[in-house]
């Protein structure tokens, strides 16, 4: 399976225009943003857990990072309420579940094989920018844009922008709650936040190695 698999091209997915697809686990559905592979895949996905649903225990050979968008995501390591950002590096394992239901943004099989950095960060604050993770390759932030704020960035190594709340306009296209945009290396990002501002999850720097 290949979805938005050409990393040299701009890709956009609008939450309200994308269907839910059933996963192998009962009660767990997905909206696929990008994907290379079948059930074991390099993937960026919005995953919805119905109350009481769970995945079987598994190891993340290629690592996993996720942001909890709604509800409380759970595993044997604890409860992760909405706003929590987690990185589970390669070789870690868990049993995902959601007793009361949850929605997460998750990225799989995108870590350096030698990465062993575990991260759990809450993002409930209203700071203009909160750094969630940084290494030599990538930077992950949560940003709060004021209503009407213009944001212009050069993107030498690519970027992903996910709307947690609010909206923005980019290239004449409106991005609202849980919409996703990926720009290839060498792009420029010019956006204007909507009337209510925007809360944005942003990752930069990680796409250069895929398009070299």
For the segment(s) 2-9+18-122, the CATH number from 2.60.120.10, 2.60.40.1890, 3.90.950.20, 1.25.40.10 is: 2.60.120.10
Q: Determine what percent of the chain is predicted with pLDDT higher than 90.
A: 73
What are φ and ψ of residue 211, in 5° steps? -120, 5
Examine the pLDDT at 212 and tell me if it is beyond 70: no
| Residue among 120, 165, 121, 175 nearest 144 (CA) | 165
Question: Which among 191, 181, 197 is positioned nearest to 144, based on CA atoms?
Answer: 197
Residue-level pLDDT at 11: 98
- Per-residue pLDDT tens over the stretch 2-29: 999 999 999 999 999 999 999 999 999 9
Calculated CA dihedral for residues 50, 103, 80, 86, nearest 10 degrees = 140
The whole-number average pLDDT for the span 22-40 is 89
Instruction: Give residue 37's pLDDT band: very low, low, confident or very high (50, 70, 90).
Output: confident
Q: Transcribe 59-70 into DSSP letters.
A: EETT-EEEEEEE
pTM, whole model, 2 decimals? 0.95
**In angstroms, what CA-CA distances link 15 with 7, 53, 115, 180, 209?**
20, 22, 31, 8, 27
Q: Per-domain residue ranges for the chain?
A: 2-9+18-122, 129-211
Q: What is the CA radius of gyration of the chain?
A: 16
Residues 6 or more apart in contact with residue 47 via CB below 8 angstroms: 23, 28, 29, 30, 103, 104, 105, 106
Q: For 139-179, how does the pLDDT look when each residue is reduced to its tens digit (9 = 90+)?
A: 999 999 999 999 999 999 999 999 999 999 999 999 999 99
Instruction: Compute the average pLDDT of residues 123-150.
Output: 93
Q: For 50-102, what is each residue's pLDDT tens digit? A: 999 988 887 877 889 999 999 999 988 889 999 999 998 888 888 889 999 99
Q: Which residue has the tokens 């030599």?
A: 136
pLDDT of residue 211: 59
Q: Which CATH number fits domain 129-211: 2.60.120.10, 2.30.30.90, 2.60.40.3500, 1.10.3720.10?
A: 2.60.120.10
Whether 2-9+18-122 shares its CATH topology with 129-211 is answered yes
**According to the model, what pLDDT value does residue 40 have?**
67
């Amino acid at each position: 399976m290949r979805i938005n698999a050409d990393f040299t091209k701009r890709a956009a997915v609008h939450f309200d225009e994308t269907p839910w697809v059933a996963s192998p686990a009962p009660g767990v559905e997905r909206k696929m943003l990008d994907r290379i592979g079948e059930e074991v895949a390099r993937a960026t996905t919005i995953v919805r857990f119905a109350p009481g649903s769970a995945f079987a225990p598994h190891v993340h050979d290629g690592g996993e990072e996720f942001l909890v968008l709604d509800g409380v995501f759970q595993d044997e390591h604890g409860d992760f309420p909405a706003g929590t950002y987690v990185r589970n590096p390669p070789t870690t394992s868990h049993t995902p579940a959601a007793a009361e239901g949850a929605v997460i943004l998750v990225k799989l099989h995108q870590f350096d094989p030698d990465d062993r950095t575990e991260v759990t960060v809450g993002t409930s604050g209203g700071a203009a920018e909160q750094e969630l993770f940084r290494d030599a390759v990538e930077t992950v932030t949560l940003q709060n844009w004021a209503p009407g704020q213009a944001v212009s960035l050069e993107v030498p190594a690519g970027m992903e922008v996910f709307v947690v709340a609010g909206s923005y306009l980019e290239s004449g296209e409106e991005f609202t709650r849980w919409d996703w945009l990926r720009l290839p290396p060498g792009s420029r990002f010019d956006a204007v936040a909507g009337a209510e501002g925007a809360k944005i999850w942003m990752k930069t720097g990680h796409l250069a190695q895929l398009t070299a």
